């Protein structure tokens, strides 16, 4: 699915729990997913699509802190 993000627009990351249509993964697969998502977020930040604050907020959400 391709989409464009405008500066200041809500970021469509993830789905609410239980609404993904796929079972929750565990272990290494889950850690890999988080690392992959962080990498994507870092790329968006580096390209100027996300601000540092937006990146930090999404990182905290992913890491559960």
Q: What is the DSSP letter of 15?
A: -
Q: Which two tokens stand for residue 53?
A: 């604050």
pTM of the model: 0.55
User: CB under 8 Å to 34, separation ≥6 — which residues?
Assistant: 62, 63
Distance of CA 14 to the CA centre of its chain: 7
* 16-37-30 Cα angle (round to 5): 75
For the segment 3-61, what is each residue's pLDDT rounded down to a tens digit? 555 555 555 565 555 555 555 545 667 888 999 999 999 999 999 999 999 999 999 99
* CA distance linking residue 65 with residue 51, whole number of Å: 19
Number of other residues whose CB lies within 10 A of the CB of residue 59: 16
Q: Which is higher by pLDDT, 6 or 63? A: 63
pLDDT at 1 (0 to 100) = 46
């Amino acid at each position: 699915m391709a989409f464009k993000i405008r500066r200041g627009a809500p970021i469509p990351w993830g789905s609410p729990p239980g609404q993904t249509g796929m079972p929750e993964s565990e272990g290494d697969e889950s850690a890999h997913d988080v690392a992959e998502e962080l990498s994507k977020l870092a790329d968006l930040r580096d390209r100027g699509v996300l601000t540092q604050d937006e990146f930090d907020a999404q990182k905290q959400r992913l890491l559960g802190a």
